[in-house]
Amino acid sequence: MAHKDISTLISDLDTDITGEISTSLATDFSVSAGDETDENRQRKSRHSDRRQPGKITRQLIERKQLLHDLQLVKIELSQKNLIIDNLNAEHLASVEELEERLGDASHTKQILQARLEAQLNVNKEEARHLQQKLHADLHTITEKQHHLEATNAELQRRAGDVRRVLHNLDLSDEQYGALKEMREEVLTLRDVIAVKFYEEKHPLLLKLTDLEGWKQMLETELKRSREEQFRLHEALEKEQRLKSDAEGKGQKLTIDLANLKSTQNQNDYKRENYNRIKSERDDFEHQLDDIQKQHTYLNVTFKGVVEERDQLVKELADRKQELLLLTQDNGYFSKQSSDVSNKLAYAEERLLTVQADLDHAKRSREELYEKYIESRDGCKVEYENKLREELESIRLRTETEIDKLKSTMRDTFERENRSLREARGNAILEKDRALSSAQEGKTKYEELFAKYRELQATSDARAMELSGEAKLKSFEAERSNMIQEETQRNLKQAQVDCDKLQKKLEVLTKEYYTLQSSGERRATELEAQLSELKSKLETYEKLEKELDDVVMQAAEYDQGDEAEKVLFSYGYGANVPSTAKRRLQHSVHLARRVLSIERMNTSLKRDLERGETKIHQLGEELSNATSLLNQAQQPYNYLIDSIKSKDQQINKHKDHINTASEDIRRLKEERETLMKEKNQMAADLERLLNQKETQSQDSQWYEKLKECNTNRGTHYRNTWKEGT
């Protein structure tokens, strides 16, 4: 499409140029004809001037003006002719230049095509050799894999033998001293491992004894805290009794207040009761001091128990977190090590092939670039020489043509018109051919140049990509080595922790079995006691039923003689033991009292209603009395305030005792939760022991895989060196 547009544009330009040339020729002929007529007119005017020399008319002036304009037009025409010649020369030069470029482009195309075919053949041959080499390497790798599997089975067998040998590694102090004095070269593998095991186990046993002592100390402290709790409970009951006594005293004080109201005008009452109230105040102060001391002691013990509880909870959380992290790290590192080993082997193979391709591509690119520069410099020099020669020839031709135009204007016009007509057809044909060939050459050149650029860009991008992949693989290899070292350290630490936990587990299992046996014995004893108590309970229930019947029958009679008759009819407990007579008598009297109280209850309700009215009246009197007491002077006001403060302190101590009992209950619940967590830790330790064997197998497999990877890496390096 672009080729057609360019050809149409050039044809339009040719038509414009031919039209201008034809118009210029027509004007030249018209001017030449006009020149002839002008010469005739000049002759006639000369004759007329000769005839009339003294007349200058307007026609003469116009004619001279026209002659002057005609000369100017001729000069412009000559200049246009020169411009046309220059354009023709430039056109011919451009056509020749395009032909030369077309020839160079076709030559370079052939060269590049030949090189491309040769390069393709070379690449095919290299790919075939690489495929054969890969098949051979794959065969060797499979053989090595079979060999490694055989060695792995042999090593597993040896590991089983070593495991059977290393069964009993316990040493006494005398055996350890004897083996330690001997040299390591003389000792067997079992003796060396037994010595190492003793060196690791002995400090742990010492630590275990310390922990047992600490445990006993904690048990004694727990017993002491329980005794203290029991003592505090007794103190609480005592405080409650004191409270009831204080309430009774408060009631007494209210009675005394009523007495004070009746006898407030008597001054002797002040002297009689002041010392007594002061002594009671001193007693209350002593009681308050004792309660505060007990309170401080309880706070100290409570804080100690809370701190121990928090410390145990923190240690338990740390152990659980470490256990979870170790299990996760083990699985993650085992997977990652296998993936990294496979990726490393594949990356090494890929790196060798890519480096060879990269070197070959660099060499071919440099060769192509050098040849391209040489061909470009040669074409440039040839083009400059041709351009200089053409300019020189054009300059000479223009000078000769200018001389010819000056000498013979009309002959040159006719000759040039004929030559231009002939050259126009030839130039149009040559121009079409040159344009078509130039367009074809240009398109081919652009295609080849685009292919070259694309090839160069792909090679550069591939080289950068391969270098980036190589750096990434090296970084991943370093990172995998670091991770491997870290996993080995963590594995050693985990093994040490597992040994410690195993020993703790053994101690805990022993304690558990002892506790279980003691619990079973205690359960059997309790069952025996329970059976005895059940038998006694049945007899007591029968006794209570009979007592209820006798009491209800005897309680119906108001007189004691009739009740005695009822008791005598039952034989004073003929169906019960002899010790129940007194109980029957007491129950009969109590039943009588209950019935009498119920009879009195109705009368007391009536009295209560009357008492409420009296209480209302007394309340009013009490308010009046309190107002009088507020207005009263010492020591009455002082006594009342001290009693109120004592009541407030008693209420505070009650609240504090309730909070202390609540804290004790909460500590018991936390102790039960800690026991549950202890049992859970024992189960976790059992799982750890089961996982220990799998971890040892994984570590052995990892070491074997590492050796295999190192052998494979050395093999690839040796093969690459031999190939280079």
- Per residue in 628-687, pLDDT (tens digit) is 666 655 455 666 677 777 777 777 877 878 887 787 788 778 778 777 776 776 676 676
Predicted structure pTM score: 0.19
Question: In whole angstroms, what separates CA 489 from the centre of its chain?
Answer: 24
Q: With 80 as the cut, is the pLDDT of residue 117 above it?
A: yes
Distance, CA of 80 to CA of 651 (rounded, Å): 132
Which of 38-47, 99-108, 115-124, 166-175 bottoms out in mean pLDDT, i.e. has the lowest? Answer: 38-47
Structure confidence at residue 148 (pLDDT): 85
Structure confidence at residue 680 (pLDDT): 74
- From the CB of residue 191, how many other CB atoms can be counted at a distance below 10 Å? 17
Distance, CA of 80 to CA of 281 (rounded, Å): 144
Amino acid occupying residue 249:
K
Give whole-number Cα distances, 642 to 278, 636, 648, in Å.
10, 10, 10
329 in Cβ contact with 490 (< 8 Å)? yes
Q: With 80 as the cut, is the pLDDT of residue 219 above it?
A: yes
Nearest Cα neighbor of 576 from 542, 550, 604 is 542
636 compared with 331, residue with greater pLDDT: 331
Nearest Cα neighbor of 348 from 461, 480, 474 is 474
Which of 397-411, 457-471, 533-547, 558-572 bottoms out in mean pLDDT, i.e. has the lowest? Answer: 558-572
Query: What percentage of the chain has pLDDT greater than the value 90?
Result: 0
Q: What is the mean pLDDT of residues 130-134?
A: 83
Q: What is the mean pLDDT of residues 562-574?
A: 53
Nearest Cα neighbor of 409 from 84, 87, 77 is 77
Q: Compute and round to an integer the Cα radius of gyration of the chain.
A: 65
Residue 3 confidence class, pLDDT cut points 50, 70, 90 = very low
Amino acid occupying residue 167:
H
Q: With 80 as the cut, is the pLDDT of residue 102 above it?
A: yes
Structure confidence at residue 718 (pLDDT): 65
Structure confidence at residue 226 (pLDDT): 81
568 in Cβ contact with 554 (< 8 Å)? no
The answer for residues whose C-beta is within 8 angstroms of residue 462's C-beta and 6 or more apart is 354, 357, 358, 361
Q: With 50 as the cut, is the pLDDT of residue 5 above it?
A: no
The answer for residues whose C-beta is within 8 angstroms of residue 86's C-beta and 6 or more apart is 394, 398
Distance, CA of 133 to CA of 672 (rounded, Å): 71
425 compared with 91, residue with greater pLDDT: 91
Distance, CA of 180 to CA of 234 (rounded, Å): 62
Give whole-number Cα distances, 566 to 256, 320, 489, 553, 590, in Å.
49, 74, 93, 7, 16
Q: What is the mean pLDDT of residues 532-545?
A: 77
Residue 4 confidence class, pLDDT cut points 50, 70, 90 = very low
Q: With 70 as the cut, is the pLDDT of residue 9 above it?
A: no
Residue 168 confidence class, pLDDT cut points 50, 70, 90 = low
Residue 700 confidence class, pLDDT cut points 50, 70, 90 = confident
Structure confidence at residue 173 (pLDDT): 78
Give whole-number Cα distances, 610 to 145, 601, 607, 613, 617, in Å.
112, 14, 5, 5, 11
Q: What is the mean pLDDT of residues 348-363?
A: 79
Q: With 50 as the cut, is the pLDDT of residue 21 above it?
A: no
Highest mean pLDDT out of 404-413, 520-529, 609-618, 675-684? 520-529
Which of 323-337, 465-479, 706-720 bottoms out in mean pLDDT, i.e. has the lowest? Answer: 706-720
Q: With 80 as the cut, is the pLDDT of residue 281 above it?
A: no
Average pLDDT, the chain: 73
Q: What is the mean pLDDT of residues 697-706?
A: 68
Structure confidence at residue 32 (pLDDT): 41
Q: With 70 as the cut, is the pLDDT of residue 698 above it?
A: no
Q: What is the mean pLDDT of residues 395-421?
A: 71
232 in Cβ contact with 296 (< 8 Å)? no
